[in-house]
């Protein structure tokens, strides 16, 4: 069966004002609204559209993390994914271990495409997709803003610093999504009721031959400095002088 | 009883809230400013609501609705209630449950098209001389052979100008009861355009701009008896069977708007600086927020509990009356305090507060006034004691 594997990360909702724990050991997530990483939602939407075009028959949503990640996988199933796998662990998962887990699943599930968000809005690493492509030994097309599948080839328009770049990659491949690729659909109410009946399997990372290791040690989390109050100037001349003193004019 | 939402309920709340914020909020200013919902805009949003499965989600799955239980339906109403009434009520229609009383070909002509969003209904009970006292209605349907001939008028009929047909309640006879003679009521399905039936422009209301109320005029309007909804003389029974929970619907929409008002007030209290500090640091402001949040929670618990009891089959009339009473009075309080916290800015139409405050007024009147709800609650207390 032709399928697409989509990565789903549980993150603090983008609307939430982030608060840092008083001891600086992380951000507060207790009682905070959690959602699917927005770039992963775009990845899922793209996979669903490719399924609707008849290019694949199945969309598989995969998340790695605590049991709570089931909530985001249920949302993915309600959006239209056919089945879901949670690789359940309480350990900290760094991009390399996430990529190793996805590689093991790609080998097991043999998807035509693995689509991931270009980065997660919590740590902004932007590494997992690239590492997965390298480990899996398949091509990558990152920061996609347009995806077309023709037979065994994906034609992907990428958002790069200089503008747009279009490349072709052989399938299977890894694609990471940029913001403008698509606009995710609303979850349909009747589909929410049906999502409960779709399969959601749970696996241990060990079952995929991965033992998560913490290679990075976060030293300290702190909120960005509060924006300083503005300064009032009398006239343009004073403004220009002030800018000059700061080396800005 | 436990108080956590199921996974499905959480998703339904999230997706409804997202739809309201993305598709309804952006058009509120236009509807409020012009007092009108443009038909093109209505159709565009309605199409999106149908695509998202939000339209008619209150209806059972076997007729094409989402098949929500009452508690989940009420959570969905709470989210819709955050927005301008004309927008959410007209574009994300919830056909009246009373249409479930349709039998035979009435289902194909009225019930199913209403669920699909192809036809919409309005409900006509209130008359100039019959508000809370519905049994006093003067609109009469006289049986002539296989037909009924209807005469009389109705007013305050919400969105009748938008509706393709009306569920009309009219007197078809009298019965003798312990408290004297009472009208026997029958419910009818009447299509727009039936000769002798006219929809006239209603009154300008302070609440719910863009959402109209109309006057219905019946002059020798003749309809076949196949248009009776339910049974002749059993109109109140039909209404009681299907419309009981609409009071919870009113309560739920009030919760949504109160939540929005509290949210705005809280943010303002944290941002606005006066006398060198955030106004939320002044106890005069912060205690208002505490009282608003507490009242909101109390109303929410009453409403959700009553909805849950509907699903358990244990709800009482008093439970629903308490929820409606508390939620509507709470909204009036919360909207007023939210404006007080904002000061002058709260009265400006740049913020949604002034309309939440205006819209709150009708909620204590329609679907049974606060006084009728208190009557229901107090009768349930005193009747067993013979008082």
Any chain B CB within 8 A of the CB of A73? no
Query: SS3 for chain B, per residue?
Result: CCCCCCHHHHHHHHHHHHHHHHHHHHHHHHHHHHCCCCHHHHHHHHHHHHHCCCCCCCCCHHHCCCCCCHHHHHHHHHHHCCCCHHHHHHHCCCCCHHHHHCCCCHHHHHHHHHHHCCCCEEEECCECCECCCHHHCCCEEEEECCEEEEEEEEEEEECCCCCCEEEEEEEEEEEEECCEEEEEEEEEEEECCCCCEEEEECCCCCCCCCCCEEEEEEEEEEEEHHHEECCCCCHHHHHHHHHCCHHHHHHHHHHHHHHHHHHHHHHHHHHCEECCEEHHHCHHHHHHHHHHHHHHHHHHHHHHHHHHHHHHCCCCHHHHHHHHHHHHHHHHHHHHHHHHHHHHHHHCCCCCHHHHHHHHHHHCCCCCCHHHHHHHHHHHHHHHHCC
Structural domain boundaries enclosing B145: 121-233
- Report how far apart, in Å, the C-alpha atoms of A92 and of each of A14, A78, B115, B193 are: 21, 27, 48, 67
Give the span between the Cα atoms of A148 and A162, in whole angstroms. 21
Contact B217, B198 (CB under 8 A): yes
Contact residues, chain A, for B14 at CB < 8 Å: 75, 187
A4-8, B199-203, B238-242: least confident range: B238-242
Q: Do A186 and B19 touch (CB under 8 A)?
A: yes
What does the pLDDT read at residue A186? 86
Number of residues assigned to chain B: 387
What does the pLDDT read at residue B48? 95
Contact residues, chain A, for B266 at CB < 8 Å: none
A226-235, B64-73, B321-330: least confident range: A226-235
Residue B23: closest CA among B44, B4, B7: B44
Any chain A CB within 8 A of the CB of B271? no
CB proximity under 8 Å: B 306-365 to A: none
Q: Do B11 and A190 touch (CB under 8 A)?
A: no
Do B132 and B15 lie in one domain? The reply is no
The bridge status of strand B213-224 relative to strand B197-201 is: antiparallel
What does the pLDDT read at residue A142? 96
Domain assignment of residue B269, yes or no: yes
What does the pLDDT look like over A84-126, one tens digit per residue? 999 999 999 999 999 999 999 999 999 999 999 999 999 999 9
Do B211 and B275 lie in one domain? The reply is no
Q: Residue A18, exposed/middle/buried by CB under 10 A (0-12, 13-18, 19+)?
A: middle
Of B8, B18, B61, the CB nearest to A192: B8
Do B229 and B289 lie in one domain? The reply is no
Query: How far A169 CA lies from chain B's nearest CA (Å)?
Result: 34
In the block, residue with structure tokens 């109209």: B212
Query: Nearest-CA residue of chain B relative to A73?
Result: B7
User: Which domain-ending residue is among B233, B253, B272?
Assistant: B233
Q: What is the arithmetic mean of pLDDT over B197-225?
A: 93
Q: Do A188 and B7 touch (CB under 8 A)?
A: no
Query: Nearest-CA residue of chain A relative to B18?
Result: A186
Do B152 and B37 lie in one domain? The reply is no
Contact B79, B17 (CB under 8 A): yes
Give the span between the Cα atoms of A18 and A32, in whole angstroms. 9
Handedness of CA B262, B263, B266, B272 (dihedral sign): negative
Active site residue: B30, B118, B367, B371, which one? B367
Any chain A CB within 8 A of the CB of B370? no
- For the whole model, what pTM was predicted? 0.84
Contact B233, B112 (CB under 8 A): no
CATH code of the domain containing B145: 2.40.110.10
CB proximity under 8 Å: B 15-34 to A: 15-16, 18-19
Do B313 and B273 lie in one domain? The reply is yes
Within 10 angstroms of residue A79's Cβ, the number of other Cβ atoms is: 25
Give the span between the Cα atoms of A238 and B306, in whole angstroms. 65
Any chain B CB within 8 A of the CB of A16? no
Identify the bridge partners of residue B150 per DSSP, sorted by sequence position: B141, B221
List, as own/partner pairs, every contact residues A163-166 make where C-beta atoms lie below 8 angstroms and the sequence separation is at least 24, other chains included: none
Domain assignment of residue B26, yes or no: yes
Query: How far B251 CA lies from chain A's nearest CA (Å)?
Result: 22
Any chain A CB within 8 A of the CB of B61? yes
CATH code of the domain containing B18: 1.10.540.10
pLDDT per residue rounded down to tens, chain A (249 residues): 899 999 999 999 998 989 999 999 999 998 899 999 999 999 999 999 999 999 999 999 999 999 999 999 999 999 999 999 999 999 999 999 999 999 999 999 999 999 999 999 999 999 999 999 999 999 999 999 999 999 999 999 999 999 999 999 999 999 999 999 999 988 888 888 888 899 999 999 999 999 999 999 999 999 888 888 788 889 999 999 989 988 887
Query: How far A49 CA lies from chain B's nearest CA (Å)?
Result: 15
Contact A91, A66 (CB under 8 A): no
- pLDDT above 90: residue B242: no
What does the pLDDT read at residue A200? 96
Is B367 one of the catalytic residues?
yes
- pLDDT above 80: residue B129: yes
Do B271 and B352 lie in one domain? The reply is yes
Structural domain boundaries enclosing A239: 3-245
Domain assignment of residue B76, yes or no: yes
Contact B88, B49 (CB under 8 A): no
Domain assignment of residue B112, yes or no: no
Q: Do A196 and B57 touch (CB under 8 A)?
A: no
Q: Best interface-test mutation with B: which of A16, A72, A86, A186 has the largest number of B CBs within 10 A?
A: A186
Contact A86, A75 (CB under 8 A): no
In degrees rounded to 5, what are phi and psi of residue B242?
-110, -20
Show Cβ contacts of residue A21 under 8 Å, excluding neighbours closer than 6 positions. Answer: A27, A28, A221
Domain count, chain B: 3
Of A186, A193, A196, the CB nearest to B52: A186
Domain count, chain A: 1
Query: How far A219 CA lies from chain B's nearest CA (Å)?
Result: 31
What does the pLDDT read at residue A41? 97
Q: At what angle do helices A128-136 and A95-109 cross, to 10 degrees?
A: 50
Domain assignment of residue B330, yes or no: yes
Any chain B CB within 8 A of the CB of A77? no
Distance of CA A77 to the CA centre of its chain: 16
What does the pLDDT read at residue B1? 60
Any chain A CB within 8 A of the CB of B12? yes
Within 10 angstroms of residue A34's Cβ, the number of other Cβ atoms is: 14
Residue A159: closest CA among A179, A138, A130: A179
Of B10, B18, B66, the CB nearest to A190: B66
In degrees rounded to 5, what are phi and psi of residue A124?
55, 30
What does the pLDDT read at residue B285? 97
Provide, rounded to the nearest whole percent, the portion of chain B with pLDDT above 90.
84
Contact residues, chain B, for A189 at CB < 8 Å: 12, 15-16, 52-54, 57, 66, 68, 76
The bridge status of strand A10-12 relative to strand A140-150 is: unpaired
Residue B147 corresponds to which tokens in the numbers above? 């037909």
In the block, residue with structure tokens 């300064």: A231
Q: What is the arithmetic mean of pLDDT over B25-51?
A: 94
Q: Do A189 and B18 touch (CB under 8 A)?
A: no
Provide, rounded to the nearest whole percent, the portion of chain B with pLDDT above 70.
100
What does the pLDDT look like over A58-72, one tens digit per residue? 999 999 999 999 999
End-to-end distance of chain A based on CA atoms, in angstroms?
62
Give the span between the Cα atoms of B219 and A213, in whole angstroms. 82
User: Which domain-ending residue is among B233, B268, B299?
Assistant: B233
What is the pLDDT of chain B when averaged over all its residues?
Answer: 94
CATH code of the domain containing A81: 3.40.50.620
Residue B216 corresponds to which tokens in the numbers above? 């219905």
Domain assignment of residue B172, yes or no: yes
Give the span between the Cα atoms of A127 and B253, in whole angstroms. 45
Contact residues, chain A, for B270 at CB < 8 Å: none
Q: Residue A231, exposed/middle/buried by CB under 10 A (0-12, 13-18, 19+)?
A: exposed
Contact residues, chain B, for A192 at CB < 8 Å: 8, 11-12, 15
CATH code of the domain containing B320: 1.20.140.10
Residue B183's pLDDT band (cuts 50, 70, 90): confident
- CB pairs A-B closer than 8 Å: 51
Q: Do A188 and B57 touch (CB under 8 A)?
A: no
Do B220 and B308 lie in one domain? The reply is no
Q: Do A189 and B66 touch (CB under 8 A)?
A: yes
Residue B182 corresponds to which tokens in the numbers above? 């009472």
Residue B54 corresponds to which tokens in the numbers above? 């939000």
Q: Best interface-test mutation with A: which of B14, B48, B64 has the largest number of A CBs within 10 A?
A: B14
Contact residues, chain B, for A190 at CB < 8 Å: 53, 61, 66-67
Q: What is the arithmetic mean of pLDDT over B38-45?
A: 95
Domain assignment of residue B329, yes or no: yes
Residue B163: closest CA among B132, B191, B182, B204: B191
Domain assignment of residue B104, yes or no: no
What is the pLDDT of chain A when averaged over all its residues?
Answer: 94
Give the span between the Cα atoms of A85 and A73, in whole angstroms. 8
């Amino acid at each position: 069966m032709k399928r697409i594997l989509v990565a789903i990360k549980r993150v603090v909702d983008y609307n939430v004002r982030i608060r840092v724990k008083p001891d600086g050991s992380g951000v507060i997530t207790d009682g905070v609204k959690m959602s699917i990483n927005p770039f992963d939602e775009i990845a899922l939407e793209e996979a669903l559209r490719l399924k609707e075009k008849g290019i694949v028959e199945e969309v598989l949503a995969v998340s790695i993390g605590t049991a709570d990640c089931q909530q985001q996988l249920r949302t993915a199933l309600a959006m239209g994914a056919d089945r879901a796998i949670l690789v359940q662990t309480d350990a900290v998962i760094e991009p390399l271990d996430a990529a190793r887990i996805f590689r093991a699943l790609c080998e097991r599930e043999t998807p035509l495409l693995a689509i991931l968000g270009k980065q997660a809005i919590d740590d902004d690493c932007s590494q997992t997709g690239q590492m997965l492509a390298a480990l899996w030994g398949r091509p990558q097309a990152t920061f996609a803003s347009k995806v077309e599948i023709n037979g065994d080839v994906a034609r992907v328009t990428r958002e790069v610093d200089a503008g747009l770049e279009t490349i072709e990659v052989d399938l299977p491949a890894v694609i990471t999504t940029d913001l403008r690729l698509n606009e995710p659909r609303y979850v349909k109410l009747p589909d929410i009721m049906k999502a409960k009946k779709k399969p959601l399997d749970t696996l241990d990372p060990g079952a995929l031959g991965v033992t998560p290791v913490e290679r990075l040690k976060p030293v300290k989390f702190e909120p960005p400095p509060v924006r300083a109050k503005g300064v009032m100037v009398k006239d343009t001349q004073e403004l220009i002088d002030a800018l000059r003193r700061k080396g800005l004019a | 009883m436990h108080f956590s939402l199921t996974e499905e309920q959480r998703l339904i709340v999230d997706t409804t809230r997202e739809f309201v914020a993305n598709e309804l909020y952006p058009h509120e200013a236009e509807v409020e400013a012009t007092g009108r919902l443009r038909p093109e805009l209505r159709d565009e949003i309605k199409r999106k609501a149908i695509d998202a499965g939000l339209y008619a989600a209150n209806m059972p799955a076997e007729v094409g609705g989402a098949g929500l239980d009452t508690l989940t339906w009420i959570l969905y109403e709470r989210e819709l209630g955050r927005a301008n009434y004309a927008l959410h009520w007209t574009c994300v229609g919830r056909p009246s449950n009373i249409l479930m009383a349709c039998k035979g070909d009435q289902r194909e002509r009225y019930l199913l098209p209403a669920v699909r969003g192809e036809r919409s209904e309005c409900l006509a009970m209130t008359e100039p001389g019959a508000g809370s006292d519905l049994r006093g209605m003067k609109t009469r349907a006289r049986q002539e052979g296989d037909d009924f001939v209807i005469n009389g008028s109705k007013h305050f009929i919400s969105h009748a100008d938008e509706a393709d047909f009306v569920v009309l309640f009219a007197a078809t006879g009298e019965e003798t009861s312990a408290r004297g003679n009472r009208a026997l009521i029958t419910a009818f399905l009447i299509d727009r355009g039936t000769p002798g039936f006219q929809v006239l422009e209603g009154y300008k209301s302070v609440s719910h701009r863009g959402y109209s109320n109309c006057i219905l005029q019946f002059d020798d309007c003749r309809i076949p008896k196949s248009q009776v909804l339910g049974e002749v003389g059993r109109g109140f029974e039909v209404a009681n069977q299907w419309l009981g929970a609409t009071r919870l619907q009113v309560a739920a929409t009030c919760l949504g708007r109160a939540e929005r008002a509290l949210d705005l007030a809280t943010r303002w209290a944290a941002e606005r600086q006066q006398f060198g500090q955030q106004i939320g640091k002044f106890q005069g402001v912060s205690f208002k927020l505490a009282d608003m949040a507490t009242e909101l929670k109390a109303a929410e618990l009453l409403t959700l509990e009553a909805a849950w009891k509907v699903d358990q089959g244990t709800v009482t009339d008093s439970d629903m009356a308490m929820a409606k009473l508390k939620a509507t009075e709470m909204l009036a309080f919360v909207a007023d305090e939210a404006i007080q916290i904002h000061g002058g800015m709260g009265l400006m139409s740049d913020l949604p507060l002034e309309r939440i405050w205006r819209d709150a007024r009708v909620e204590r009147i329609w679907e049974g006034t606060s006084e009728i709800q208190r009557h229901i609650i107090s009768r349930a207390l005193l009747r067993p004691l013979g008082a």
